[in-house]
Structure 1
Amino acid sequence: MAADAVGRRLQVDALVKTYKQRTVVSGLSLSLDAGEVVGLLGPNGAGKTTAFYMILGLTRPDSGRVALNGEDITYLPVHQRARRGMGFLPQEPSIFRKLTVEENVLAILEARGVPPGERQERAQSLLSDLNISHLATSRAYTLSGGERRRAEITRTLATDPSFILLDEPFAGIDPIAVYDIQGIIGQLKDRGIGVLITDHNVRETLQIVDRAYII
């Protein structure tokens, strides 16, 4: 684990969300330390995605608390959580389809305020780290499911996150790509990044997590 990752924690306490008198999430509590991979598992309709959205700030909880490195972020907007080090990879394709893989990464670096003179080097370093330098000039719409996932994770790393939430990272990709993505998640852990995963592929998820919550 990276030395600067020590002491970082995402803490969720007693989150509740109700829609039209139906409780979707009931008192969810969990913790995630930097350099740890944790699963959030459960059947369809168990509230996993709603829980993710509350942690990310996309959905407002009825009650409960979300803290990042000791700071209460329960009601902070998404962009402020991202600035504090929270990354998210949704199940749906999130890459800019008409841009090249490299342009996708450069766009995020620009949005993050990285100086122009440093962007190219940073982008090339990230592409190399995720072993997709050979895809740098490929348009995103030409990528396979596994390549797209790898490119999306690379783009997420461009935000310099302390924690990444992965929603269904194994959905829509072939078995070889699943193995590939599992390896990348291991790399994220080695970087000192905390990873929270929810996925219907329980076996593949349990193969890589340090522990799991069942809801």
Structure 2
Amino acid sequence: MLLKKKNKIKEIKESLNLNSVNNVVLKADNIIKKYGEKFAVNGITINIHKGEVVGLLGPNGAGKTTTFYTIVGFIKPNAGKVLINDYNISALNMYERARIGIVYLPQDASIFRELTVEENIMVALERREDLSKAERKIELVNLLKEFEIKRIQSQKAYTLSGGERRRVEIARALAVNPYFLLLDEPFAGIDPIAIGDIKNIIKILKERNIGVLITDHNVRDAFDIIDRAYIVYQGQVLDEGDVDYIVSSEKAKKLYLGEEFRL
């Protein structure tokens, strides 16, 4: 069974051939999710291109988390599809999506607490069949340097601060060479200095041509780093556009941001 799944993912990756195309698009297409007779999401469509940072924002209970988790692979919609370059990946679970390059980082700690920083990253690198043992070690050193965590590489994960942990989690996510990173509440539970660090890391992701989808309640920090946003309200996309447009949108101000909102 495991070999069959592995071969299926390999076939999908070969079919997609994403390394040979300039533009890669992750899309949630006309997603509908009902719980009983209640619509949590009712026809939402969003897309993320490689190399851009997109916010999925909205008030509590609006449907943004359901939409986000549908893209992650946690939630199966009643209707609609999740696509990567028009290839339907709706049937794939979260782990299978990760293997084709769509990696999810949860809000809660996701590192192995009893492993060192170095070991945490190496666990991910060992899944890279395209790298030799020597190349994995080189990539490990590069990630430790890039994310400024070399000085803590021998520390156990449970000793890390919130900001350090987030750096390690993102470095580990990059170890699998993803096309898209899905960040759930990246600014939650960390201090202002760490928030600045995370923003800088997201800029690095963009420079690496990785598409980033962020859902976060901290609107101001999200607006500081995203290229554009989808505002979700009552299970539908209320508005979408770049930050300047969203901040000036009467609909967004009335139903989400507040009339007095200013950047």
Which residue of the partner structure matches residue 192 of structure 1? 209
Which residue of the partner structure matches residue 261 of structure 2? none
Unmatched segments (≥5 aa) in structure 1: none
Alpha carbons 1:66, 1:72 under 8 Å: kept: yes
Which residue of the partner structure matches residue 46 of structure 1? 62
What displacement does 1:13 show? 1.1
In structure 1, how many angstroms separate the alpha carbons of the residues matched to 2:118 and 2:20? 28
Deviations 1:106-146 (A, max 9, x none): 01111334433332221111111111111111111111101
1:62 aligns to 2:68 (yes or no): no
Task: Tell me whether 89-98 or 39-48 shows the greater mean CA deviation.
Answer: 39-48
In structure 2, how many angstroms separate the alpha carbons of the residues matched to 1:30 and 1:4? 24
What displacement does 1:4 show? 6.5
Alpha carbons 2:127, 2:176 under 8 Å: kept: no
Unmatched segments (≥5 aa) in structure 2: 1-18, 233-263
Higher relative contact order (CA 8 A, sep 6+): 1
Alpha carbons 2:31, 2:44 under 8 Å: kept: yes
Equivalent runs, 1:136-147 vs 2, <5 Å: 136-147=153-164
Structure 1 pair 5/98, CA: closer, same or farther in 2 (3 Å)? Answer: farther
Which residue of the partner structure matches residue 172 of structure 2? 155
| Bigger radius of gyration among the two | 2
TM-score normalised by structure 1 residue count: 0.94
Equivalent runs, 1:106-145 vs 2, <5 Å: 106-113=122-129, 114-145=131-162
What displacement does 1:7 show? 1.0
Q: How many residues align?
A: 213
SS in 2 for 1:137: coil
Equivalent runs, 1:160-199 vs 2, <5 Å: 160-199=177-216
Structure 1 pair 35/62, CA: closer, same or farther in 2 (3 Å)? Answer: same
Which residue of the partner structure matches residue 211 of structure 1? 228
Runs of 4+ in 1 over 4 A off after TM superposition: none
Alpha carbons 1:167, 1:199 under 8 Å: kept: yes
Alpha carbons 1:5, 1:192 under 8 Å: kept: no
Cα RMSD of the aligned pairs, angstroms, is 1.5
Q: How many percent of aligned residue pairs carry the same amino acid?
A: 53
Task: Tell me whether 109-118 or 11-20 shows the greater mean CA deviation.
Answer: 109-118
What displacement does 1:77 show? 2.2
TM-score normalised by structure 2 residue count: 0.78
SS in 2 for 1:149: helix
What displacement does 1:15 show? 0.4
